Amino acid sequence: MRYPLDRFEEIATGFRFRQPYPASFGSLAGKTHLGLDKGGRNAAFPNGIEGAWLFAPSDGKVVGRFTKPEGGNTIHFLDSKGSLWRFLHLLDFAVPPFALVVEGTKLGQVGSTGVSTGPHVHIDISKGGLLNLADIDNFIDPELYLRENISPANPNAMIWDSILGTFRRKFGDKATTAEPKVISVLVKMADGSTRLDLVRRFDDGSVKSKKGVSFNEWAQNALGTPVPQGDADQLPDF
């Protein structure tokens, strides 16, 4: 399983799972948001997320493709574990109805169709492949579901993505032009002290660290000041 959007964890999160709608949302006021909204203008997408590709999170089937007044262009996707995903407010579709697809297939592009405050994608997941909007308990937190099920080819890539996300949030526009190959991190040790490491992503996608480097070595090799990252301690050495 993979994230349905590239750089998923860096993309701004709007309404979260089970967050109530405020009074400003009219007829939706007080109702429960049953999914997760991802979008906005941020370090991951400085020009906005509209047009970003939405990918199949696993092998599965497009069991529905609709255009609705509230949800706009909507895809219903049944994943390899039997859970039903809904993706709302899409700009357009990239797959036909009932298509069998493999993980990573482009399903459509993020838009702002239907009732929407701006370009974003609403993602919700129902257990057992059944959609019942009245049964709140049948909906799953998408963030939790992804954390429990995602299995990247390189497990250490998730640590790199987390480090890179922290780096971009810390340095803003200065960090959006190109992805650095080396980032310095501060690892908190069991005794309360901190250690300076260099974390490097290699061209083959592997992620490794050099632990306990000197100030001079950090200054020569890394971009910016170190970011805190405890799980960098799990990385193999280079």
Q: How many domains does the chain have?
A: 2
Residues 29 and 103 in one domain: yes
Residues 79 and 125 in one domain: yes
107 in any annotated domain: yes
Of residues 4 and 152, which shows the higher confidence score? 4
What CATH number corresponds to the domain at position 47? Answer: 2.70.70.10
195-222: pLDDT as tens digits? 888 888 776 667 888 888 887 777 776 6
Residues 206 and 109 in one domain: no
Residues 119 and 39 in one domain: yes
CA angle at 120 for the pair 84 and 132, rounded to the nearest 5°: 30
Residues 185 and 67 in one domain: no
Residues 204 and 97 in one domain: no
Residues 111 and 228 in one domain: no
Residues 225 and 140 in one domain: no
109-144: pLDDT as tens digits? 999 999 888 899 999 999 998 888 888 899 999 988
User: Domain ends where: 124, 149, 174?
Assistant: 149
Residue 43 has pLDDT above 70, yes or no: no
1 in any annotated domain: no
Domain coverage including residue 222: 156-234
Residues 102 and 173 in one domain: no
Residues 34 and 88 in one domain: yes
